[in-house]
């Protein structure tokens, strides 16, 4: 009877998700996902080995027996593709990268600009475009909610999104985490005085992420991202941002600085007056 049980054919998808945890926990979760596994199978698995965790590829599951299935649970290879999202990058290039990695002809998500959270993602290679978007959004949402809960009592997307806009400018202007709150203070001080931000980083949006901002570009760009022409903040973040940049946007340093200029590497000099600012060049 035992041998008869092991040679019974079963139907299962070639790619499944195996949760990490105890054998009992794993089996219960697989059962809820309609995977054909029984509690008795844990005793067989104890002799075969520990099941892999995460998204796994079982290979060709046609004519698969229970024995084959249980064996493959312990030997299956990872069925994911690695996507690393780096702070400072724009959605334009992120979606291009995902399209190339996942082999999509075209790829785009209706996720608010700059809302994606910089993280290392492992995407099942059988995911469809909609599934990738949903996964990226849900992970990002949980990350942002966690940060928001550290400072605010409730989740208010509109309020939080304004901080993301400021954080994105900070992210573009400096990679030096120690200076982020200082850059943030300059942004708030200039806004308070009704000054234009006049920051190159706001023009590194979308497909212009890696392009040097030139006088000609400043002259011809008529979007709200051009803070040399328009007062206030851009309507959207100019890139995805790190937690440090978000914290800096929420808790800027208390300074009188109105200007800053890069001097060496990632270091900047900050000043209170334009006269002092010119001396720092």
Q: For residue 199, what pLDDT band results from cuts at 50, 70 and 90?
A: very high
Whether the pLDDT of residue 85 is over 90: the answer is: yes
Measuring CA to CA, which residue among 117, 208, 223, 115 is closest to residue 164? 115
φ, ψ for residue 143, nearest 5 deg = -65, -45
Q: Pick from 61, 78, 95: which residue ends a domain?
A: 78
255 in the same domain as 272 = yes
| pLDDT value, residue 171 | 98
CA atoms in the 13 A half-sphere facing the CB of 105: 0
57 in the same domain as 26 = yes
Q: For residue 84, what pLDDT band results from cuts at 50, 70 and 90?
A: very high
Token code pair at residue 123: 């995407």
End-to-end CA distance of the chain: 84
146 in the same domain as 123 = yes
The mean pLDDT of the chain is 93
| pLDDT value, residue 46 | 85
Q: Which domain holds residue 251?
A: 157-279
Number of domains in the chain: 3
Q: Pick from 151, 171, 191: which residue ends a domain?
A: 151
96 in the same domain as 194 = no
CB within 8 Å of 93: residues ≥ 6 apart? 207, 209, 210
254 in the same domain as 200 = yes
- pLDDT average, residue stretch 162-176: 97
260 in the same domain as 162 = yes
111 in the same domain as 37 = no
Whether the pLDDT of residue 255 is over 80: the answer is: yes
Three-state SS at 194:
coil
| pLDDT value, residue 205 | 97
265: left (phi over 0), alpha (psi -120 to 50) or beta: left
| pLDDT value, residue 256 | 97
180 in the same domain as 245 = yes
Q: DSSP for 120-156, please give it.
A: EEEEETT--HHHHHHHHHHHHHHHHHHHHHHH-SS--
Tokens 């996902």, residue located = 33
- pLDDT average, residue stretch 73-101: 93
Tokens 């698969």, residue located = 64
| pLDDT value, residue 50 | 84
Q: For residue 78, what pLDDT band results from cuts at 50, 70 and 90?
A: confident
88 in the same domain as 74 = no
Q: What is the pLDDT of residues 36-66, one digit of tens each?
A: 998 888 888 888 888 878 888 888 888 899 9
Q: For residue 165, what pLDDT band results from cuts at 50, 70 and 90?
A: very high
Identify the residue with better confidence: 126 or 160: 160
Lowest mean pLDDT among 32-36, 48-52, 251-255: 48-52
Q: Pick from 16, 48, 78: which residue ends a domain?
A: 78
Whether the pLDDT of residue 248 is over 90: the answer is: yes
Whether the pLDDT of residue 265 is over 80: the answer is: no
CB within 8 Å of 274: residues ≥ 6 apart? 258, 259
CA distance 231 to 194: 7
138 in the same domain as 103 = yes
CB within 8 Å of 263: residues ≥ 6 apart? 269, 280
163 in the same domain as 132 = no
| pLDDT value, residue 146 | 96
What proportion of the chain, given as a percentage, has pLDDT over 70?
100
Tokens 């939080």, residue located = 160
CA distance 260 to 271: 6
CA Rg, the chain, in Å? 25
By CB atoms closer than 10 A (0-12, 13-18, 19+), residue 70 is buried
62 in the same domain as 91 = no
């Amino acid at each position: 009877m035992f041998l008869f049980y092991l040679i019974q054919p079963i139907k299962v998808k070639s790619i499944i998700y195996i949760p990490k945890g105890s054998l009992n926990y794993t089996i219960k979760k697989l059962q809820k996902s309609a995977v054909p596994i029984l509690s008795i199978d844990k005793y067989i698995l104890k002799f075969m080995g520990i099941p892999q965790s995460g998204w796994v590829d079982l290979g060709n599951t046609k004519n698969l027996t229970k024995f084959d299935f249980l064996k493959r649970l312990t030997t299956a290879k990872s069925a994911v593709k690695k996507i690393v999202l780096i702070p400072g990058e724009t959605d334009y290039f992120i979606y291009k990268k995902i399209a190339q990695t996942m082999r999509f002809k075209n790829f785009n998500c209706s996720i608010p600009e700059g809302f994606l959270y910089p993280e290392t993602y492992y995407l099942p290679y059988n995911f469809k475009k909609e599934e990738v978007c949903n996964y990226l959004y849900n992970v990002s949402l949980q990350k942002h909610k966690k940060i928001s809960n550290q400072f605010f009592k409730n989740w208010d997307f509109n309020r939080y999104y304004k901080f993301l806009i400021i954080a994105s400018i900070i992210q573009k202007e400096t990679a030096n985490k120690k200076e982020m709150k200082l850059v943030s203070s300059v942004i708030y001080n200039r806004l308070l005085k009704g000054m234009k931000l006049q920051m190159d980083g706001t023009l590194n949006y979308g497909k212009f992420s890696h392009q040097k901002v030139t006088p000609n570009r400043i002259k011809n760009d008529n979007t709200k991202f051009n803070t040399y022409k328009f007062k206030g903040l851009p309507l959207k973040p100019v890139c995805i941002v790190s937690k440090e940049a978000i914290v800096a946007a929420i808790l800027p340093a208390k300074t009188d600085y109105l200007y800053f200029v890069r001097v060496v590497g990632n270091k900047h000099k900050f000043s209170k007056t334009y006269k002092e600012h010119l001396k720092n060049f």
